Structure 1
Amino acid sequence: MSIFETVKAIRKTKGDTPAQILTLILLVIFLTSMFFTGALKLNDCPAEPFIPKWLLVMGIFGLLRLLVSQVCNRMVDDDEENCCQGACECMLEVFLFAWFVAGSVWVFRTYGDVSYTKDSENYCERPLFRFSFVIQLGTYILMGSSLCCCCMFGCMAAIMDD
């Protein structure tokens, strides 16, 4: 039995763990804050008008991705193949990745020139820009940490097999 089959079997018998529920709640709060920050500050960054739009769209589609995943997982039996669910999730993931890359370009391109004084040509409201910057930087740190952990566990597994 593979590790994925074991996890599926445990999840099927025990349901969601408190850690999974807490993670889901925190993710919903985070994505909702992205949505509302982008919506409320839509015209507050003339230096790069796409930054608030990036937050707004990322929040909406992130929430949609969670909703599709949760609803489909509750409705479809684990043994049943759902091609439509997989295709929807894949399209959403590809879109979210592409939108994240676009947001990276907009945020990091503006980083050196941004001004927090309203009279400036490169004005962007401080909380809006910093929130976007922290999201980008935090995501890159998490991706890098995850990659390092995967490599470390892969190397440990290879050593243990020998």
Structure 2
Amino acid sequence: MLCCHDAAPPPSYDSVVEQIKQAKKDSDGHVDFVKTCCGILIGSGLFNKKKELGDKEKKLGVGPEQLIINCFVIAWFIAGSVWVYRTYDDWQSSNSTLDNYCNPTLYYFSFWIITISYIGLGLLLVMCLTTCIAMCICGEDE
């Protein structure tokens, strides 16, 4: 079993920057440079979420309680999306005693927050796919 406590501390910021600069000089192209940079960053421990506090190390990663909270938030977002989009044509704001009453400000705020969140996720997905396609195309030219 790999123990994280016995590992050497990650290199300083300056040495990582110097390694990336050297990788840029030595790379055969953009794809090779990205691969080398990923190896440098992963190997340097920049993705290792630990912070030293005196003699103790405190893990800042995702614990089981944070995982449960994240799952709850995702489930709540999905349930809220279903509730808001399901009532798109069926809600009314004139009679507050009816079951399908909703305050218009609340409904439109919820609708647009959820819609903007989905638009943002879609744009992020398109940017990632575009980047992957561009890297594949640039990699074939070399």
Report the TM-score, using the length of structure 2 for normalisation: 0.55
- Is 1:101 the counterpart of 2:78? The answer is yes
What amino acid is aligned across from residue 136 of structure 1 in structure 2? I
User: 1 or 2 for the larger relative contact order (CA 8 Å, sep ≥6)?
Assistant: 1
The alignment partner of 1:145 has SS state of helix
Change (3 A) 1:81 1:105: same
Paired with 1:4 and 1:82, the residues of 2 have a C-alpha distance of 22
* Deviation for aligned residue 1:91: 2.6
The answer to whether the aligner puts 1:115 opposite 2:89 as a matched pair is: no
Structure 1 unmatched runs, 5+: 10-72
| Higher helix proportion (structure 1 or 2) | 1
* RMSD (CA atoms): 3.2
Quote the offset at 1:3 in angstroms.
7.4
Distance 2:40 2:125 in 1: 19
Offset from partner CA, 1:114-142 (integer Å, 9 cap, x none):
11113562211111111111111111111
Count of aligned residue pairs for this structure pair = 97
* Structure 2: stretches of 5+ with no match in the other structure: 1-36
Q: Rg bigger for which structure? A: 2
* Structure with greater strand percent: 2
Match of 1:91 among 68, 71, 84: 68
Aligned-pair identity in percent equals 32
Distance 2:137 2:77 in 1: 36
Q: 1:2 aligns with which of 15, 38, 59?
A: 38
